[in-house]
Structure 1
C-alpha cells in the first residue's frame, strides 16, 4: 500500500468524493467560508465545472494511500495569488495537508508572494500553513456561511526567499 501523498490533476470522477467530503459539518465549520448550501449538488458541480474550465487555476487532487483525500489549489482572490486546500476529515492528523501543500508549492506554484487565509480558531490549518513557510501578515473578517455569522480570519503570506 502506498502511504505517501501524491498530487495529480483533478478529474470529473473526483468530484463526487469532493462533494461528500465538503458536506461534513465539522469540516465546514473549520473551513468557515463555504457554500451557502453544502448539500446542493447541482451548485457544487456547477462551481467545480467553472474551476475545471479555468486554466488560470492550478487544481490538484490529493491522493493518500491511493485514495482521494481532498484537493489543493492556487488561484487569484482579491487581486492576489492565493492557495487553498480541503482535506477529508478522515485524513486529518496524518500530515496529508502539509505534504500536499508543500508539493503544490514546490512543483506547481512558483509565484511569490503567495497568500492564504484561515479563520482564527482553525489552529490546525494555521499550523499547516506555517509549516509550509507562511507567516501571518494581517487580519480580515467576512461572513461565514458555515457559521451563519461574521468571523475573523488571518491572512498569511509566503514571501520569496530573498525577502
Structure 2
C-alpha cells in the first residue's frame, strides 16, 4: 500500500493539496495552494532531504494519498494527505498503521486542526494520544484556530 514517491505522482499530489475542502480541513497549509512553483520547490526540498521519509499511499495500483515524517524543532512529526474524493474509506488509518513500521523514531508527533475530527480519529486509532493544544494562524481558513498536538510513544 505504501511505495516511494515517483516524479509522475507530482500532479496528483498537487491537486489533492489544493482542493478547497481539503485545505480547509488541514488548515495549516501553503499560503497559496494554487502556486505550482511554490509546491514544486517545497516538494523538491522534501524529496531531497534524507531525513524526510516520503511515501505514496496506493490502492489497487492507484495513488490515493501521501504520508511522510520529518523533524521540526527537534520533534519527529507525521503528516499525511488523502485524495478528498476518497475520504472515509479507511485509507488514512491503514496508511498510518503501515507507516509506523517504517518510521522507528518515538515519540512521534502529529498535529490536526481541532475541527478536523476525521484526522484526529485516524491518529487515535493508531495509538496517538492528545498531549496538548496550540493556537496559530491557519492559511487554509484565513484565521487563527486551535490545533491539537498528538503523540505516539
The TM-score, its normalising length taken from structure 2, stands at 0.98
Match of 1:90 in 2: 85
Unaligned runs of 5+ in 2: none
Unaligned runs of 5+ in 1: 1-5
Matches within 5 A, 1:124-143: 124-143=118-137
Give the total of aligned pairs. Answer: 153
Report the Cα offset of residue 65 of structure 1.
Answer: 2.3
Report the Cα offset of residue 78 of structure 1.
Answer: 2.5
Match of 2:38 in 1: 43
Match of 2:106 in 1: 112
Report the Cα offset of residue 85 of structure 1.
Answer: 0.2
Query: In structure 1, how many angstroms separate the alpha carbons of the residues matched to 2:60 and 2:84?
Result: 15
Query: In structure 1, how many angstroms separate the alpha carbons of the residues matched to 2:12 and 2:24?
Result: 19
Query: In structure 2, how many angstroms separate the alpha carbons of the residues matched to 1:91 and 1:73?
Result: 19
Per-residue CA shift, 1:62-108, capped at 9, x if unaligned?
A: 101211111000101222001000001111111000000110002x1
Per-residue CA shift, 1:6-49, capped at 9, x if unaligned?
A: 10011111111100111110000000001111111111011000
Query: In structure 2, how many angstroms separate the alpha carbons of the residues matched to 1:141 and 1:14?
Result: 33
The TM-score, its normalising length taken from structure 1, stands at 0.92
Structure 1 moving runs of 4+ over 4 Å: none
Match of 1:3 in 2: none
Q: RMSD of the alignment, in Å?
A: 0.7
